[in-house]
Chain A
Amino acid sequence: GAVVSQHPSWVICKSGTSVKIECRSLDFQATTMFWYRQFPKQSLMLMATSNEGSKATYEQGVEKDKFLINHASLTLSTLTVTSAHPEDSSFYICSAREGDPLSSGMSYEQYFGPGTRLTVT
């Protein structure tokens, strides 16, 4: 159980275009989803946290108008990189957490998708 999928697994786009990445929890309901970015040989950098039905919370330094996040259902969150530039080329990873950690009996584990490698030319 606890499988998270991402689509596409890799994408190449031209500078100035927009790219949408989908993150789905396949066998559980994800109240909270997280979007990370990882540059080569660096650790994960949290970009934003999204809760189903509400606006995403962005980390400091992440442009919310450039990285649009929509968490429309308990199983789907999307990240749209708008007006992509070569410096946006990176490995984007989503993760999902089931339920609310403030509830009793919760698992705090985040389940990761396989990642999307974005290359902007």
Chain B
Amino acid sequence: GQNIDQPTEMTATEGAIVQINCTYQTSGFNGLFWYQQHAGEAPTFLSYNVLDGLEEKGRFSSFLSRSKGYSYLLLKELQMKDSASYLCAVLDSNYQLIWGAGTKLIIKP
């Protein structure tokens, strides 16, 4: 079967750095997405990785290791507005998105 695992909830302090991990087992792989979702709102796109390595975009970076079936989202200089759920999703061999359950990130002052 297809499976994506990420922690249910994480807590971090404003100004700090946090890493949200995602492991996956899917039928085929055509890339991995990270989305941010605030409560009551639709997801918004953060990053897309299809090759191994680190992609940096401002305060957010995303890393992928296809051989390990592993990705992480790194958030630096945390701000209160970063409190949200972070969703990991893998594009499988049929180009369908397989979603993780999401990681709720709580930022404390």
Give chain B residues whose Cβ lies under 8 Å from the Cβ of A49.
Answer: 96
Interface residue from B33, B40, B41, B101 paired with A42 (Cβ < 8 Å): B101
Tell me if A46 is interfacial: C-beta within 8 Å of chain B: yes
Are the CB atoms of A110 and B97 closer together than 8 Å? yes
Are the CB atoms of A43 and B42 closer together than 8 Å? no
Looking at the assembled complex, report how far the CB atom of B103 sits from the nearest CB atom of chain A, in whole angstroms: 10
CA distance A109 to B87 in the complex (A): 14
Query: Please, how many residues of chain A have a CB less than 8 angstroms from a CB on the other chain?
Result: 20
Q: With contacts A43-B100, A108-B30, A108-B95 known, is A115 near B48, CB below 8 A?
A: no
Give chain A residues whose Cβ lies under 8 Å from the Cβ of B42.
Answer: 93, 112-115
Are the CB atoms of A101 and B102 closer together than 8 Å? no
Which residues of chain B (75-109) have a CB below 8 Å from chain A?
A: 87, 91, 95-97, 99-102
Give chain A residues whose Cβ lies under 8 Å from the Cβ of B44.
Answer: 112
Tell me if B7 is interfacial: C-beta within 8 Å of chain A: no
Closest to A32 in B: B95
Give chain A residues whose Cβ lies under 8 Å from the Cβ of B91.
Answer: 101, 108
Are the CB atoms of B41 and A115 closer together than 8 Å? yes
CA distance A49 to B96 in the complex (A): 9
Tell me if A44 is interfacial: C-beta within 8 Å of chain B: yes
Closest to B95 in A: A101
CA distance A93 to B37 in the complex (A): 12
Tell me if B43 is interfacial: C-beta within 8 Å of chain A: yes
